[in-house]
Chains A and B, each alone.
Chain A
Amino acid sequence: MVALEILIYGAVLSGIYALLAVGFALIFGVARVINLTHGAFYMLGAYTTYALSVLLNVPLILSILGGMAFVFILALCLDRFIIERIRTTMINVLITTLALSLFADQVILQIFGPDNRNIPAVISDRVTLLGVDIAGQRLLSLIISVAVIATLWLIITRTRMGNALLATAQDPEAAQLMGINTGRMFMITMGIAAMMAALAGGIVGSFLTVAPEMGMLPIIKAFSIVILGGLGSLGGSIIAALLIGYLETSVAYLISFNATELVPLVIIFVTLTFRPAGIFGKRRGF
Chain B
Amino acid sequence: MKLVTHTWRTLISRPPFYVMAIFFLFMLLVPVMTNDLYLIGVLVLANVYAIFASSWDILSGYSGKENFGHTLFIGAGAYGAAYLNLYLGVPPMLNLVLCGLIGAVFGILIGIPCLPLVGPYLALATMAAASIAERLTMIFSKYTGGEEGLYGLEPITAGPVGDYYLSLILVIITTVILMAIGYSKQGLILRSIKEDETASEAAGINTTRYKLVAFAISAFFAGMGGAFYAHYQMYTGPSSLSIIMAITIIIICMIGGMGTIVGPVLAAYMLTVSNEFLRSIGDFRLLVYTGLLVVIVLFLPRGVFTVILERLPRFGQNREASKP
Q: Do A and B bind each other?
A: yes
User: Which of these, B64, B244, B254, contacts A102 with CB under 8 Å?
Assistant: B244
Q: Determine if B172 is an interface residue (Cβ-Cβ < 8 Å).
A: no
Complex CA distance for A224 and B131, rounded to whole angstroms: 13
Contact of A262 with B139 in the complex, beta carbons under 8 Å? yes
CB-defined contacts of B298 to chain A, threshold 8 Å: 82, 85-86
Shortest Cβ distance from A224 into B: residue: B124
Known A-B contacts A268-B124, A272-B128; A90 and B119 likewise in contact (beta carbons under 8 Å): yes
Report B282 CB to chain A, min CB distance, Å. 8
CB interface residues, A 231-282, toward B, < 8 Å: 231, 256, 258-259, 261-262, 265-266, 268-269, 272-273, 276
Q: Mark contacts of B130-148 with chain A using CB atoms, 8 A cut-off: 1 yes-contact digit, 0 otherwise.
A: 0110011011000000000
Contact of A95 with B254 in the complex, beta carbons under 8 Å? yes
Contact of A276 with B121 in the complex, beta carbons under 8 Å? yes
> How many of chain A's residues have a CB under 8 angstroms from any CB in B?
41
Known A-B contacts A91-B64, A99-B251, A106-B286; A227 and B124 likewise in contact (beta carbons under 8 Å): yes
Interface size class of B (residues with CB under 8 A): 35 or more
Contact of B135 with A262 in the complex, beta carbons under 8 Å? yes
Q: Determine if A119 is an interface residue (Cβ-Cβ < 8 Å).
A: no
Complex CA distance for A268 and B191, rounded to whole angstroms: 29
Q: Determine if A64 is an interface residue (Cβ-Cβ < 8 Å).
A: no
Known A-B contacts A262-B136, A272-B128; A227 and B121 likewise in contact (beta carbons under 8 Å): yes
Shortest Cβ distance from B123 into A: residue: A94
Q: Determine if A92 is an interface residue (Cβ-Cβ < 8 Å).
A: yes
Q: Interface segment, B178-186, B224-232, B288-296?
A: B288-296
Instruction: Tell me the dominant secondary structure on chain B's binding face.
Output: helix
Shortest Cβ distance from B140 into A: residue: A258
Shortest Cβ distance from A101 into B: residue: B290
Complex CA distance for A211 and B185, rounded to whole angstroms: 49
Q: Footprint of B on A, CB under 8 Å?
A: 34, 82, 85-86, 89-92, 94-96, 98-100, 102-103, 105-107, 110, 216, 220, 223-224, 227, 231, 256, 258-259, 261-262, 265-266, 268-269, 272-273, 276, 284-286
Q: Which 3 A-B pairs have the closest CB atoms?
A: A273-B113, A99-B290, A103-B290
A-B contact pairs, 16 of them (CB 8 A): A92-B297, A95-B293, A98-B247, A102-B247, A107-B287, A220-B124, A258-B138, A259-B135, A259-B139, A261-B131, A261-B135, A266-B132, A268-B128, A269-B128, A273-B125, A286-B121
Q: Footprint of A on B, CB under 8 Å?
A: 64, 66, 113-114, 116-121, 123-125, 127-129, 131-132, 135-136, 138-139, 243-244, 247, 250-251, 254, 282, 284, 286-287, 289-291, 293-294, 297-298, 301
